[in-house]
């Protein structure tokens, strides 16, 4: 905010009962992270190349070229200022425009790191780090995305030349969707069925050069292009999602990523001690980062809706006084505050997931693979529930802003359009929950075998208690006790998983049973994942959290998150007998009183996200709350208002009006 400019939300900020600066540190993860983030946000906001207010007005070609310009400029600044990787990734984040760089840094580099041998990493990573090559992740095909084993592209070893021949045998084997592929990438990690000596060895990753490093023309045998416009204006159309076909393209043998499986010069196939599933490792990595992205997108939408709800007034004027701020309506609070609590919940669960991922990666390096299934289930499940909730929440925030939320300059329509594919990419959310369900059913089936469940399924080890326990909540106050809440969530989750396992046992063919019960299995999986989010929020509160009133606010938010989920899924809690209808009603009473506690802190709680006006790009979410004059000013900037009488008047409006006059005379 400019120094001396009026702050229309100052009154809201004065009622805060906690230290906002300390909350900023907690949200960012550390003082260092906050400092880096803050510095990079300002660097981007102050650079005119990164302006984005005109994005939705640009044609696809202009938008795309502008994205290239921004990406090149960002890289130039990163090199000039010698930014660290942490700083560089914050710059890309605040530039806030989907681009080929997301896939280069987010998937191409991690795929080589995770699936390449030491030598392969040494050869390719330095080139990628300096952006002397630009890469994408080419897995999905026209015919198959979820079913990775169903991919049709082939990689056939030719022992005569020591090469692989990469080929697209059918139309449906065309690579379809990879970001950065359409117009930019020089290289791809392409996934194909490995064939050696006529034998198939499953799907593996291959580094394939696509375009000349001299003139960017596709290499012989490569057909490549963009797949076309996507949902919304601006939005994800800055990305060149691409189509790619291979016509017997030859690559050297050492361009197969060989950490999991090696093919020797003689054509021998050697399985290393690394599990096959590591071929899916890049997806595990990215799913984990997508959970953190969910908290960013959600907090951004909530920040806009909260500030605007405090500015906007409707009805309730008494004796000519001001009308009621819409944030004071209980219905507005019951729709908005759970989303605010969810933003914090997703932030902390993503922090935890990152540490789990780091831990599992270290173990994998040491040759310990036992925690991989849990890492897969957690990343898949949390990716699924956080992205679904966030996509719904962005749309809810748009509605919370009434008519003005539908204006592009509210920032919400484009945020929704950019965000919503997160429910599909990196694994369709339903398909991912089915993976979690498989893991849960397996865990339940092993309960009697002496194998003690660990990690996020440790609670299943108390199955005997959880299957019959009764919640002892007697008052609304009791619902503020984390242990009471967690036990209700554990009982609900365990009972849903056990019910699924029992029903599955009735089918002679387990796969047929799994297919028939899929809808119930998905609900059991979601219940388990919600339990994880609730538990990790409460566990966060066990840590030392400095700053006046900060912990208190987080306690309130954690209870709001948990009781909101309980209220939303009351049917599950009641049908499993985890709580009684009376206890459900008490939870709702508690939720209502918690909303009143959030109310004076709401604006400060979104200020703690520390978003610049540039990043928010929302007239409604401006830090200073100066909404109406800005909306009015912005309207006149629309190209339609360049002339008072519109183009087309002479051809289409005037003749119409004249004709009406003639008709009227008749």
Ligand X SMILES: Cc1cc2nc3c(=O)[nH]c(=O)nc-3n(C[C@H](O)[C@H](O)[C@H](O)COP(=O)(O)OP(=O)(O)OC[C@H]3O[C@@H](n4cnc5c(N)ncnc54)[C@H](O)[C@@H]3O)c2cc1C
Ligand Y SMILES: CCCCCCCCCCCCCC(=O)SCCNC(=O)CCNC(=O)[C@H](O)C(C)(C)COP(=O)(O)OP(=O)(O)OC[C@H]1O[C@@H](n2cnc3c(N)ncnc32)[C@H](O)[C@@H]1OP(=O)(O)O
Question: Shortest Cβ distance from residue 275 to ligand Y (Å)?
Answer: 8
In the region spanning residues 238 to 277, those forming contacts with ligand X, defined by CB under 6 A, are 241
Tell me: does residue 124 bind ligand X (CB under 6 A): no
Candidates 21-29, 71-79, 407-415, 427-435; binding stretch for ligand X (CB under 6 A): 427-435
Complex with ligand Y: residue 24 or 175, whichever CB lies closer: 175
Tell me: does residue 372 bind ligand Y (CB under 6 A): yes
Tell me: does residue 456 bind ligand Y (CB under 6 A): no
Candidates 5-13, 62-70, 171-179, 351-359; binding stretch for ligand X (CB under 6 A): 171-179
Residues with Cβ within 8 Å of residue 379, at least 6 apart in sequence: 284, 287, 288, 291, 353, 357
Q: Using CB under 6 A, pick the residue from 369, 425, 507, 514 that binds ligand Y.
A: 425
CB–CB of 18/548 below 8 Å? yes
Buried/exposed 593-611: b ≥16 CB within 10 Å, e otherwise: ebbebbbebbbbbbbbbbb
Residues with Cβ within 8 Å of residue 1, at least 6 apart in sequence: 7, 623, 624
* Residue 430 interacting entry, from ligand X, ligand Y, none, C-beta within 5 to 8 Å by type: ligand X
| Spatial CA neighbour of 328 closest among 320, 319, 336 | 336
Tell me: does residue 522 bind ligand Y (CB under 6 A): no
311, with CB counted inside 10 A (0-12, 13-18, 19+), is buried
Which among 141, 152, 414, 426 is annotated as catalytic?
A: 426
Residue 419, phi then psi, degrees to nearest 5: -80, -35
* Residue 376 interacting entry, from ligand Y, ligand X, none, C-beta within 5 to 8 Å by type: ligand Y
Tell me: does residue 424 bind ligand X (CB under 6 A): yes
* Residue 115 interacting entry, from ligand Y, ligand X, none, C-beta within 5 to 8 Å by type: none
Taking the alpha carbons at both ends of the chain, their separation in whole angstroms is 62
Complex with ligand X: residue 282 or 299, whichever CB lies closer: 282
Tell me: does residue 427 bind ligand Y (CB under 6 A): yes
| Spatial CA neighbour of 598 closest among 311, 315, 332 | 332
Question: Shortest Cβ distance from residue 133 to ligand Y (Å)?
Answer: 18
Q: How far apart are CA 69 and CA 259, in angstroms?
A: 36
Question: Shortest Cβ distance from residue 223 to ligand Y (Å)?
Answer: 21
Q: How far apart are CA 53 and CA 158, in angstroms?
A: 53
Question: Shortest Cβ distance from residue 257 to ligand Y (Å)?
Answer: 15
Site string for ligand Y, 102-141 (x = CB under 6 A): x--xx------------------------------x-xx-
CB–CB of 653/339 below 8 Å? no
Residues with Cβ within 8 Å of residue 644, at least 6 apart in sequence: none
Cα of 200 vs its chain's centroid, Å = 35
* Residue 89 interacting entry, from ligand X, ligand Y, none, C-beta within 5 to 8 Å by type: ligand Y
| Spatial CA neighbour of 344 closest among 600, 564, 491 | 564
Among all residues, whose Cβ is closest to ligand Y? 106
Q: Using CB under 6 A, pick the residue from 58, 131, 431, 631 that binds ligand X.
A: 431
Tell me: does residue 374 bind ligand Y (CB under 6 A): no
Q: How far apart are CA 185 and CA 535, in angstroms?
A: 42
Q: Using CB under 6 A, pick the residue from 425, 478, 484, 549 that binds ligand X.
A: 425
* Residue 325 interacting entry, from ligand X, ligand Y, none, C-beta within 5 to 8 Å by type: none
* Residue 312, CA distances (Å) to 1, 321, 387, 443, 626 in order: 20, 15, 29, 50, 11
Complex with ligand Y: residue 215 or 273, whichever CB lies closer: 273
Instruction: For the beta carbon of residue 533, count every other beta carbon within 10 angstroms.
Output: 26
Q: Using CB under 6 A, pick the residue from 428, 520, 539, 589 that binds ligand X.
A: 428
Q: Using CB under 6 A, pick the residue from 100, 124, 137, 246 that binds ligand X.
A: 137
Tell me: does residue 22 bind ligand Y (CB under 6 A): no
Question: What sign does the dihedral 346-351-352-358 (CA atoms) show?
Answer: positive
426 is catalytic: yes
Question: Shortest Cβ distance from residue 311 to ligand Y (Å)?
Answer: 33
Site string for ligand X, 174-203 (x = CB under 6 A): ---xxx------------------------
Complex with ligand X: residue 13 or 183, whichever CB lies closer: 183
Cα of 379 vs its chain's centroid, Å = 11
| Spatial CA neighbour of 245 closest among 229, 226, 228, 221 | 221
Tell me: does residue 149 bind ligand Y (CB under 6 A): yes
In the region spanning residues 172 to 211, those forming contacts with ligand Y, defined by CB under 6 A, are 179
Angle between helices 412-419 and 372-400 (to 10 degrees): 160
Candidates 200-208, 376-384, 420-428, 536-544; binding stretch for ligand X (CB under 6 A): 420-428
In the region spanning residues 285 to 304, those forming contacts with ligand Y, defined by CB under 6 A, are 286, 289
Tell me: does residue 419 bind ligand X (CB under 6 A): no
Residue whose pair of structure tokens reads 């310990």 in the numeric block: 368
Complex with ligand Y: residue 105 or 479, whichever CB lies closer: 105
Q: How far apart are CA 551 and CA 507, in angstroms?
A: 49
Beta partners for 224? Answer: 244
Instruction: For the beta carbon of residue 417, count every other beta carbon within 10 angstroms.
Output: 19
Site string for ligand X, 517-536 (x = CB under 6 A): -x------------------
* Residue 236 interacting entry, from ligand X, ligand Y, none, C-beta within 5 to 8 Å by type: ligand X
In the region spanning residues 576 to 615, those forming contacts with ligand X, defined by CB under 6 A, are none
Kindly report the three-state secondary structure assignment for every residue of 271-336. Answer: ECCCCHHHHHHHHHHHHHHHHHHHHHHHHHHHHHHHHHHHHCECCCCCCCCCCCEHHHCHHHHHHH
Kindly report the three-state secondary structure assignment for every residue of 178-214. Answer: CCCCCCCCCEEEEEEEEEECCEEEEEEEEEEECECCC
Complex with ligand X: residue 408 or 434, whichever CB lies closer: 434
* Residue 102 interacting entry, from ligand Y, ligand X, none, C-beta within 5 to 8 Å by type: ligand Y
Candidates 50-58, 117-125, 142-150, 651-659; binding stretch for ligand Y (CB under 6 A): 142-150
Q: With left for phi above 0 and alpha for psi between -120 and 50, is residue 459 left, alpha or beta?
A: alpha
CA dihedral 372, 377, 382, 387 (to 10 degrees): 110
Q: Which residues are catalytic?
A: 426
Residues that bind ligand Y (CB under 6 A): 89, 102, 105-106, 137, 139-140, 145-149, 179, 277, 280, 283-284, 286, 289, 372-373, 376, 425-427, 431, 435, 438
Residues that bind ligand X (CB under 6 A): 103, 137-140, 144-146, 177-179, 236, 241, 421, 424-428, 430-431, 434, 518
């Amino acid at each position: 905010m400019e120094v001396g400019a009026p702050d229309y939300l100052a009154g809201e900020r004065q009622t805060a009962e906690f230290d906002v600066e300390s909350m900023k540190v907690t949200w960012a993860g550390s003082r260092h992270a906050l400092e880096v983030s803050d510095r990079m946000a300002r660097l981007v906001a102050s650079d005119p190349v990164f302006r984005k207010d005109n994005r939705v007005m640009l044609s696809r070609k202009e938008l795309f070229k502008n994205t290239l310009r921004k990406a090149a400029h960002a890289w130039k600044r990163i090199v000039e200022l010698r930014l660290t990787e942490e700083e560089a990734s914050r710059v890309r984040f605040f530039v806030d425009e989907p681009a080929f760089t997301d896939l280069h840094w987010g998937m191409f580099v991690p795929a080589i790191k995770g699936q390449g041998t030491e030598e392969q990493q040494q050869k390719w990573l330095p080139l990628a780090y300096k952006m002397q090559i630009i890469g994408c992740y080419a897995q999905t095909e026209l015919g198959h995305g979820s079913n990775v084993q169903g991919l049709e592209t082939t990689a056939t070893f030719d022992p005569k030349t020591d090469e692989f021949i990469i080929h697209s045998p059918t139309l449906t084997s065309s690579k379809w969707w990879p970001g950065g592929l359409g117009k930019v990438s020089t290289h791809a990690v392409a996934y194909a069925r490995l064939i050696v000596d006529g034998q198939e060895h499953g799907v593996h990753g291959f580094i394939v050069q696509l375009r000349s490093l001299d003139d960017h023309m596709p290499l012989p045998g490569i057909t490549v292009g963009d797949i076309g416009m996507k949902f919304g204006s601006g939005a994800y159309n800055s990305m060149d999602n691409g189509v790619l076909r291979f016509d017997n393209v030859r690559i050297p043998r050492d361009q197969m990523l060989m950490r999991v499986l090696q093919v020797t010069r003689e054509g021998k196939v050697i399985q290393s001690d690394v599990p096959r599933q590591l071929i899916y490792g890049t997806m595990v990595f990215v799913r984990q980062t997508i959970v953190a992205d969910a908290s960013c997108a959600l907090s951004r939408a909530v920040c806009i809706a909260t500030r605007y709800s405090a500015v906007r007034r409707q009805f309730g004027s008494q004796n000519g006084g001001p009308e009621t701020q819409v944030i004071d309506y209980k219905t507005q609070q019951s729709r908005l505050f759970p989303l605010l609590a969810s933003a914090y919940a997703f932030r902390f669960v993503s922090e935890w997931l990152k540490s789990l991922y780091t831990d599992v990666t270290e173990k994998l390096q040491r040759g310990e693979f036992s925690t991989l299934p849990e890492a897969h289930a957690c990343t898949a499940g949390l990716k699924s529930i956080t992205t679904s909730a966030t996509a719904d929440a962005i749309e809810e925030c748009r509605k919370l802003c009434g008519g003005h939320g539908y204006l592009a300059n509210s920032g919400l329509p484009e945020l929704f359009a950019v965000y919503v594919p997160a429910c599909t990419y990196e694994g369709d959310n339903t398909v991912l929950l089915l993976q979690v369900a498989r893991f849960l059913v397996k865990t339940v089936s092993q309960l009697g075998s002496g194998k003690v469940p660990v990690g996020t399924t440790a609670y299943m080890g108390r199955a005997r208690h959880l299957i019959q326990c009764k919640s002892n909540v007697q008052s609304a106050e009791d619902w503020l006790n984390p242990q009471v809440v967690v036990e209700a969530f554990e009982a609900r989750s365990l009972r849903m998983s056990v019910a699924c396992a029992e029903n599955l046992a009735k089918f002679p063919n387990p796969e047929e049973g799994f297919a028939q019960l899929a809808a119930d299995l998905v609900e059991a999986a979601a219940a388990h994942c919600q339990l994880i989010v609730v538990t990790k929020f409460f566990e966060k509160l066990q840590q030392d959290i400095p700053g006046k009133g900060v912990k208190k606010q987080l306690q309130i938010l954690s209870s709001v998150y948990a009781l909101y989920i309980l209220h939303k899924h009351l049917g599950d809690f009641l049908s499993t007998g985890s709580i009684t209808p009376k206890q459900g009603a008490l939870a709702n009473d508690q939720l209502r009183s918690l909303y009143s506690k959030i109310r004076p802190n709401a604006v400060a709680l979104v200020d703690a996200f520390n978003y610049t006006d540039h990043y928010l790009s929302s007239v409604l979410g401006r830090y200073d709350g100066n909404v109406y004059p800005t909306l009015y000013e912005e309207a006149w900037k629309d190209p339609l208002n360049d002339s008072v009488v519109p183009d087309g008047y002479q051809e289409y409006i005037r003749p119409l009006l004249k004709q009406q006059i003639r008709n009227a005379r008749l």
